[in-house]
Structure 1
């Protein structure tokens, strides 16, 4: 874990909770829906590949959205989402493994498990198609990437700097998310994707994360090399089908 820079108290609290959470009792084996195929299909159909996030709440948003997450997920897919992201972190994001399980059963697109996963046994809590691994917070990134792949998961390795990108590539990441939000300060800067993406190998699938709230933002990230975009708050804020469609056709 890279602790060379300070971490925002809200994030430190999330990490403390993650360290205490149990893993699964049995090793999972997953038949994952292909995320690269979903991105390619969106491209063929002239859509922007969007990972729409079912996010009831978070430390950076106000209030809680209490709609049925399954219905929200279906509306997002109807709006053109290429994949979904479902929070399983319970204490700060209002997520749960059961929510992910229900959503994945209800849709036919790849589903990302978004959580703060620190240990191998935490991979075995619930089946998903992709799992988020945050490079900054994982002690043995290569080991966790390998463990995820052995179970059939597609690891989406999240980075924020060029150094973390290099670490992710060295660890065997095929899908890399570049987070525009600095988890040390919880500040968003879209320049982050542009600075980091330029160093990525051509065969790595790049996902732009955080701060994407308009069609202009979408076009900016795409021009900088984003193959897909993870969008949460801007879709959850209002009619999710219409909002998803707005981003997938931007």
Structure 2
């Protein structure tokens, strides 16, 4: 993987990810089902939302210093079908310990959001779902299989049709399409609309990044999103109210 094509912030993230040690003891997970959580939200009349506990990031200003467990509970109270928790420490203020605390405190699936590049890094912390970014993983079929062997469900993140094809060939059954181009950190909601057509119908499809308004929610859902991953638009202000606003779009 040649990281020179990426924005400086992404190059820095990848450099630290390559150096980060894996966990010690092999992780074994009995996961809460993300697809079933999405179905339950649909049945309840809610937009299936994966709400992200994100203290900070290279693409946002400021930092939330609230207790992440309190934030997570507010998101669930607001109707989130699942949660995403950052475990990347240097650039996003996350930690495996935060994810462990959040997962213990809620009863919805929890996604580990990080830059996992090799098998040993899977053993850092138990989660229901682990993120693998197709653009960054050299052996996607091997790492996906290693994650599943530990019990993880796997969200494979893509940005292009070619990456979707790579994910499908690797056996991915949960695919995310990131509207943010990680090479330039630019966001275009049209990305999901263009790329979603390449995703097979039997795959759970998640729209990521740039979703901030109820119009954005409706647009992504119309383009085929089974669920939406939203961070900044929820973390900026009243977390429960922001979650409720976005999850109740289709019942208004």
Q: Same fold (TM over 0.5)?
A: yes
Q: Which residue of 1 aligns with 2:6?
A: 7
Which structure 1 residue ranges, 4+ long, deviate > 4 Å from structure 2? none
Q: Which residue of 1 aligns with 2:236?
A: 237
Q: Which residue in the other structure is 1:106 paired with? A: 105
1:150 is aligned to: 149
Matched, 1:196 2:201: no
Matches within 5 A, 1:1-150: 1=1, 3=2, 6-150=5-149
> Which residue of the partner structure matches residue 206 of structure 1?
205
Q: Tell me how far apart the structure 2 counterparts of residues 157 and 199 of structure 1 sit (CA, whole Å).
A: 14
Asked if the contact 2:158–2:177 (Cα under 8 Å) also holds between the matched residues in 1, the reply is yes
- Structure 1 unaligned regions, length at least 5: none
Structure 2 residue matching 1:39: 3-state secondary structure: helix
Deviation (angstroms), 1:86: 0.2
* Gaps in structure 2 of 5+ consecutive residues: none
**Match status 1:183 vs 2:189:** no
Shift of 1:27: 1.1
Give me the CA root mean square deviation.
Answer: 0.9
Q: Distance in 1 between matches of 2:7 and 2:51?
A: 25
Cα distance per residue 1:128-174 (max 9 Å; x no partner)? 00000000000000001100111000010000000000000001110
How far off is 1:5 after superposition?
7.4
Q: How much does 1:4 deviate?
A: 8.4
Shift in Å, 1:199? 1.1
Aligned partner of residue 198 in structure 1, secondary structure: helix
* CA distance in structure 2 between the partners assigned to 1:179 and 1:154 by the alignment: 18
Q: Could you tell me the TM-score, scaled by structure 2's length?
A: 0.98
Matches of 1:200 and 1:22, distance apart in 2: 33
CA distance in 1, matches of 2:119, 2:104: 24
Q: 1:93-120, CA deviations, whole angstroms, 9 ceiling, x for partnerless residues?
A: 0000000000000000000000000000
Q: TM-score scaled by structure 1?
A: 0.98
Cα distance in 2 for residues equivalent to 1:111 and 1:97:
12
Shift of 1:92: 0.2
Contact 2:86 2:112 in 1 (8 A): yes
* 1:177 Cα deviation after fit: 0.5
Question: Is contact 2:96–2:124 with CA below 8 Å preserved after alignment?
Answer: yes
Could you tell me how far apart the structure 2 residues matched to 1:212 and 1:25 are? 36
